[in-house]
Structure 1
Amino acid sequence: MALTRKKVLVSLAAAVALLVIGFAGYVWLALHWSFSGGERVGYVQKISQKGWVVKTWEGELQLISVPGAAPEKFLFSVREDAVAERINAVVGKKVALSYEQHKGVPSTIFGETEYFVSGIRVVE
């Protein structure tokens, strides 16, 4: 009887370990495999650091629109402090943000949006 109970516990522990490893692999894949990427041009309106445990930088870019069109905002996240500092230095200037879109990230702990900015250049 004890051998059967031991087999059940080992099987249960193996199943839990497999689920944890599978979830960790999924999170790693979602954060490192880009669905799409590109550039958005506009004016950075704000960028701030948010989060209770893991701090991420969250920002808002006012896109340059065609005359007569409604203005549009591009919400983005920044994971690297160096990139956030460069963005902070040019708030209010016309910039081009390079970004990657990561779909399927399971939580907002890694960023509130699915758009992660990786570079910035001033456009003028």
Structure 2
Amino acid sequence: ESTIKELVDKEGCCLVVTTGGTGPAKRDVTPEATEAVCDRMMPGFGELMRQESLKYVPTAILSRQTAGLRGSSLIINLPGKPKAIRQCLDAVFPAVPYCIDLMDGPYLECDESVIKPFRPKSK
């Protein structure tokens, strides 16, 4: 919890990504730590990550990934297993640069050969 606050409040990170601690075990408290420091929650991130993970494992319903906003920062909790991290990050990351744009954060550029961000077309 204090590390997330430090990254956002002191270091000025516009994006904080955590991995692990999102399951049902007693030691899995990452979502609670995230919720404790966020001003607003972004439930669509967790919903999409679980939906994506369900394509691979039926136990995805046990995962409690979440995301939220603190100031001008987006905080995303990913699962702990490397393969699941990649699957979930690939699913949600296209929305991340636009989310940061909407919070007046820095303009994030991506290597579109790796992942293509989605930004609505300007008028």
Is TM > 0.5 for Structure 1 vs Structure 2?
no
For this structure pair, what is the TM-score category when the shorter chain's length is used for normalisation?
under 0.3
Q: Relative to total residues, which structure has the larger helix share, 1 or 2?
A: 2
Q: Please identify which structure carries the higher strand content.
A: 1
Normalising by structure 2, we get a TM-score of 0.22
TM (normalized to structure 1)? 0.22
Give the number of the structure whose alpha-carbon radius of gyration is greater.
Answer: 1
